[in-house]
Amino acid sequence: MESALTITEPTKDDLIAALSWQVEAGADEALWDEPSFAHAVTMRLSDVINPESKDTAPIKQPVSAAPAMPAQGEESAPQPASEAPAPATSLAQIQTLEALKQAMADFDKCDLKRTASHLVFSDGNPAAKIMVIGEAPGRDEDRVGLPFVGKAGQMLDHMLASIGLSRDDVYITNILPWRPPGNRTPTSEEIAMMRPFVARHIQLISPDVIFAVGGTSAKSLLQVSDGIMKLRGKRFDLSLPSDNDGPEARYPLLPSLHPAYLLRAPHHKALAFKDLLALRQLARTTRAS
């Protein structure tokens, strides 16, 4: 069903916020003859996140289908994306973020743990209804033990500020809690191995909206192979099992560009700002309903 919500003419605050973000992020010259964000704030919300699109069907993401771990000394076969090794403690029994963090710290099946300095669990407000999910920690995050603290983190702060938010208004985590060596792209096996933890993380936070930044984050959550440029600008519903055997919980999910990518490709910040406006509108709508 098409949303009746619209994003109409840009307000003065919208325009100032967009310009401030560009300046604070380091833009010092015009890239186009006309403001690139003008169309972003006048288009219909249904054009930005269209729940009727064939690309927005609910995505089922089971968390309990995990095979038994091999006996000591046995070599485990490569795991398909939907069959990740289970942690020692059943994730369904974990009821707090602190317990989940401890379960991840105790999980020894992921080799990334051996080369990382710190487990990078989360930052922000656990009571927030917007959950930002990135890809994996970088060098600064691995050193400090918090997500998005380097230059990409500063960009994320500018992005949030452009729609009137701060870290106190969101909850931030990553698909992987450990830094891949040399900041390499995570492997499909590493992503599949940690996916049950991510799903439980989402269940515990129970956000109104998930903002998945970066291709690795969006593709991992949705279990699709499409690139981020095809995924962004659409709304998806991520379905996860409930704790009480009731109906599956559905979490609206908006994919967007990773802040680190915007540092390399500032001409795409107009697309990110469009996604941020959709995030703000969807968060307000979901909270009010």
pLDDT value at residue 21: 59
CA neighbours closer than 13 Å in the CB half-sphere of residue 209? 25
pLDDT value at residue 89: 56
pLDDT value at residue 23: 57
Q: Domain spans of the chain?
A: 12-63+119-288
pLDDT value at residue 13: 72
pLDDT value at residue 90: 86
* pTM for this entry: 0.73
How many Å apart are CA 259 and CA 267, to the nearest integer? 13
**Average pLDDT per run of 10 along the chain, which is 289 residues long?**
40 68 52 43 36 40 35 38 52 95 96 97 97 97 97 97 97 98 94 96 97 97 96 96 81 98 96 97 81
Architecture of domain 12-63+119-288: 3-Layer(aba) Sandwich (3.40)
pLDDT value at residue 9: 53
pLDDT value at residue 2: 29
